Structure 1
Amino acid sequence: MGPAWQWLLGAGILASVYWQPFPAHGDKSLGAPEAPCGQLSEALPAYRKITPTITNFALRLYKQLAAETSGNIFFSPVSISSTLALLSLGAQADTPAQILEGLGFNLTETPEADIHRGFQSLIHTLDLPSPKLELKVGNSLFLDTQLKPQQHFLGNIRELYWAFAFSVNFTDSNTTRRQINDFVKKQTYGQVVDFLEELTQDTLMVLLNYMFFKAKWKHPLSCYQTPKQESFFVDERTSLRIPMMHQKEVHRFLYDEEVACTVLQMEYSGNALALLILPDPGKMAQVEAALQPETLRKWDQLLLPR
């Protein structure tokens, strides 16, 4: 079947935005940060300036990863791009421009300040509370006690990315690893456990991004349906017998004869959706080559309820 892909481009969903000041050196408290005051006030959301670039970045990164592996691929372009953009705020000389240009931004058309305001707007929009689903996105920095971060850097990441920093002792790698893992476990409600397996003693910083998403399908599978054992094909030669469920429901759907794939859009309860793309047998490479922003726009216009 080849690599699988999926990404989050964002919708108006999520719980609260968090941040807290950089603690005093040696402070090992990793509690949840406080919620900031104030709201963004924009006639046209600033994130509209950066989401096309994030889409391009998502497709470029997927193709790069797909060329290097035959396994499954799962990543969030919002997480990766926002984390790198945050990191550029602490870089010097030509490095900030190189990071942002590596993400695909044209700094002549979109100045650095507009890019960071775009990410600020996007993160704020994702963090808007929703009664029907929960999406929680966060950034954190764990800095060794010997590092002396500049206050304007800490202020910028707090204001623009609602990121917060902790001072930790990386020479005690086991304790620090446990602190970071406990923090991630708490922020993801126990779903991500012991993700950081080891830390070397020469580590000076860990830049962390986490995402938690929970929602129900708008058209859920029947709770009275008994799963049936059927064949799931891992690849052309390998199959497994696993329990499967079936549904007959109205979803947006299309078959793209030119690209040779089936496209299915499934909605969650709330402002979120999943776009599933199934290549025709033997057409994975053709579908991958066709994955361009204009292809996604075309599909969005052609998908019809069926």
Structure 2
Amino acid sequence: MFFFLSSLPELFVTVNRQPRGRICFSFLWVEGGRRGPCNPTAFAMEQLSTANTRFALDLFHTLNEKNPTGNIFISPISISSALAMVFLGTRGTTAAQVSKAFYFNTVEEIHSRFQSLNADINKRGAPYILKLANRLYGEKTYNFLPEFLASTQKMYGAELTSVDFQHASEDARKVINEWVKGQTEGKIPELLVTGVVDNMTKLVLVNAIYFKGNWQEKFMKEATADASFRLNKKDTKTVKMMYQKKKFPYGYIQDLKCRVLELPYQGEELSMVILLPDDIEDESTGLKKMEEQLTLEKLHEWTKRENLALIEVNVHLPRFKLEESYNLNSHLAHLGVEDLFNSKADLSGMSGARDLFISKIVHKSFVEVNEEGTEAAAATAGIATFCMLMPEENFRADHPFIFFIRHNPSTNILFLGRLSSP
């Protein structure tokens, strides 16, 4: 099984039969109020946000271990949503491993919560474009359990399209790619490369998310100029540095010597939040200390609105575009999802038989940040000490930083990244 995710995130999953079949799943992809005893739905949605964020940070740390200095960009909500659909078809130990790694076991009625989140994400009339779409492409001669197909359609809006993988796998691949291309406004033109699906493929599940939003406060193009971006203590590169001076939510974490800036998109339901160290103090990107302390509790503490002040900020932010691709098998195995990728897999909830396993999960992501906004396809007590702020602050992102795009009503992280080299 392949997962291919792009952020625009997209995830493609292929499940192999033992020994003769393969199912492909392809996915592309992303404040709660205080919960009260009389609002169980809000409580459950907060549980989902917490689960998704914990997984996002776990995966970020795992990717960072393999790539401690390079760019990282993922759509954790896309991966979680995709695996939630897979979770519908898992049983036994396989289900337990997926549930634990993605923290699904901490959320009541997990699939209903994803259903609600998808509806919230896809709502109409917003001043930005944010859409999440799912579709199943199944081998026309293979019998999937009606219950599995009904659940994916009801909870995730994933309708089944029958295709002929057995005799025309290349044509089927092109059909899938065209659908993905349309859903991502052309940003993911070829999710599935030649050879990814073949005559043994049984199912491709596609989850696509696309986001395009304009800044609440745009950067003026005439203010953009060439500037040096410090990759580390020794190396620099020239970038197009944007600039504006406006009032933004801003904070400073004294313990980490780190600045926090929130850049809202129009409508303020979505924001980009940037964590920027004062300087490069280690021998790599300057982010090591922050990354070591990056937990759910601390991230919430660092970035929640109550700890930020709306003040004048001189913002210098590089124009950048990232396109990343990951094979997630080893990373998810590191997080405890092991049986899914071999003959031990129990995906009998999909077909009624234990003859399927996931052969590969690939996640692709794309993001572009410029003066207008962002386009992306493809989320403890005493943890921080904040200091008093000056009436005006400087935020010069001319060295590596961590950023994420947050869906503020649900607090879900749609996209998460580290910019080491624009």
TM-score range with shorter-chain normalisation?
0.7 to 0.9
> What one-letter code is carried by the residue in structure 1 that aligns with 2:114?
F
- Aligned residue for 1:30? none
* C-alpha contact 1:173 1:200 (8 A) present in aligned 2: yes
The Cα offsets for residues 83-116 of structure 1, whole Å up to 9 and x where unpaired, read as: 111111122333223211221233xx645xx111
Do residues 141 (structure 1) and 136 (structure 2) align? Answer: yes
> What one-letter code is carried by the residue in structure 2 that aligns with 1:82?
S
Residue of structure 2 aligned with 1:296, choices 291, 295, 299: 299
Percent identity over paired residues:
31
- Aligned residue for 2:47? 49
Residue of structure 2 aligned with 1:305, choices 302, 305, 310: 310
* C-alpha contact 2:170 2:197 (8 A) present in aligned 1: no
> What one-letter code is carried by the residue in structure 2 that aligns with 1:250?
K
**CA 1:175–1:242 in 2, change beyond 3 Å: closer, same or farther?**
same
**CA 1:293–1:67 in 2, change beyond 3 Å: closer, same or farther?**
same
> What one-letter code is carried by the residue in structure 1 that aligns with 2:184?
T
Q: Distance in 1 between matches of 2:142 and 2:256?
A: 52
Q: Distance in 2 between matches of 1:193 and 1:245?
A: 29
Q: How far 1:305 moved relative to its partner?
A: 1.1
Do residues 182 (structure 1) and 181 (structure 2) align? Answer: no
1:221 alignment partner, SS class: coil
- Aligned residue for 1:102? 101
* C-alpha contact 1:260 1:287 (8 A) present in aligned 2: no
Q: Distance in 1 between matches of 2:258 and 2:307?
A: 13
Q: Distance in 1 between matches of 2:293 and 2:189?
A: 37
Q: How far 1:226 moved relative to its partner?
A: 4.7
The Cα offsets for residues 132-161 of structure 1, whole Å up to 9 and x where unpaired, read as: 111011222222223211111111111111
Q: Which moved more, 1:138-147 or 1:288-297?
A: 138-147
Q: Distance in 2 between matches of 1:130 and 1:74?
A: 28
Q: Distance in 1 between matches of 2:232 and 2:207?
A: 32
2:261 alignment partner, SS class: strand
Q: How far 1:289 moved relative to its partner?
A: 1.4
Residue of structure 2 aligned with 1:266, choices 259, 263, 266: 263
Structure number with the higher strand fraction is 2
* C-alpha contact 2:173 2:197 (8 A) present in aligned 1: no
Q: Any stretches of 5+ residues in structure 2 without a counterpart?
A: 1-6, 9-38, 312-422
Q: Distance in 2 between matches of 1:146 and 1:294?
A: 49
**CA 1:284–1:226 in 2, change beyond 3 Å: closer, same or farther?**
closer
TM-score, structure 1 normalization: 0.79
Do residues 161 (structure 1) and 156 (structure 2) align? Answer: yes
Residue of structure 1 aligned with 2:66, choices 44, 65, 68: 68
Q: How far 1:248 moved relative to its partner?
A: 0.7
Q: Distance in 2 between matches of 1:265 and 1:293?
A: 18
* C-alpha contact 2:51 2:107 (8 A) present in aligned 1: no
Q: How far 1:243 moved relative to its partner?
A: 2.6
Do residues 257 (structure 1) and 262 (structure 2) align? Answer: no
Q: How far 1:73 moved relative to its partner?
A: 1.2
Q: Distance in 2 between matches of 1:71 and 1:143?
A: 37
Q: Distance in 2 between matches of 1:156 and 1:123?
A: 14
Q: Distance in 1 between matches of 2:90 and 2:138?
A: 15
* 1:182-261 superposed matches below 5 A: 182-198=178-194, 199-201=196-198, 202-223=200-221, 225-261=222-258
Q: Distance in 1 between matches of 2:176 and 2:236?
A: 38
* C-alpha contact 1:48 1:118 (8 A) present in aligned 2: no
Q: Distance in 2 between matches of 1:50 and 1:228?
A: 42
1:245 alignment partner, SS class: strand
The Cα offsets for residues 64-89 of structure 1, whole Å up to 9 and x where unpaired, read as: 11111132111111111111111111
Q: Distance in 2 between matches of 1:185 and 1:236?
A: 40
Q: How far 1:290 moved relative to its partner?
A: 1.4
**CA 1:165–1:237 in 2, change beyond 3 Å: closer, same or farther?**
farther
* C-alpha contact 1:49 1:118 (8 A) present in aligned 2: no
Q: How many residues align?
A: 262
Q: Any stretches of 5+ residues in structure 1 without a counterpart?
A: 1-6, 9-41
| RMSD, matched Cα | 2.2
Q: How far 1:228 moved relative to its partner?
A: 1.7
